[in-house]
Copies of this chain bind each other. A is one copy, B any other.
Amino acid sequence: MDDRAATDLAMLVLRAATEVVDGIQEGMAARGYDDLRPAHGFAFARIAAADTTVVDLAEHLGTTKQAASQLVAGLVDRGYVVREPDPRDARARLLRLTEAGEACTRAAEAAAADVVAGWNEVLPRASLGALHAMLRRVVTPGPLRPAW
């Protein structure tokens, strides 16, 4: 694979990601969630894990803890997240998704599935599975954060 094809592949990945993000955003809006940005989705993914604190979230998103704190404040205001005391550390406050937050997560997953369903129409089912397998091998596990 020469440089030309390599950069071309990189651009295809970026373009695919643009489609995924735009598609999710559209799908979310269609489902009534028009007050959330992609960054919120990445935050939801981390908060869904047990015992998440603001500092954990900041690290996950690659921002400062202040930025994470502000983002959480917004989610709390909108009823997607609650702050609960940490039984083991009186300083810390554990973040947890409310029922609304979980519903929102399900909507985002459905929207993402819709985008891939569109791909399924132009690509045989087996190829989509192969695509999945190849990406899993290529991609190093790591945080999924706003990238550009």
**Chain A residues close to B by CB (< 8 Å):** 1, 3, 5-22, 24, 37-39, 109-110, 112-113, 115-117, 119-120, 122-123, 125, 127-132, 134-142, 144-148
Contact = CB atoms under 8 A, between A and B. Distances in A.
Contact of A109 (B3, B113, B120, B144): B3
A21 B14 contact: yes
A123 B20 CA distance: 24
Contact of A130 (B110, B117, B130): B130
Interface of A is mostly: helix
B15 A113 contact: no
Instruction: Give the copy number.
Output: 2
Given A3-B113, A19-B139, 12 more contacts: A1-B125, A3-B109, A6-B112, A7-B112, A7-B113, A12-B136, A12-B139, A17-B147, A38-B147, A38-B148, A122-B137, A147-B148
A60 to B, nearest CB: 12
Contacts of A109: 3, 7
Contact of A16 (B1, B18, B38, B138): B138
Contacts of A125: 1
A7 B116 contact: yes
Which of A21, A115, A116 has the most CB atoms of chain B within a 10 A radius of its CB?
A116
A135 B13 CA distance: 7
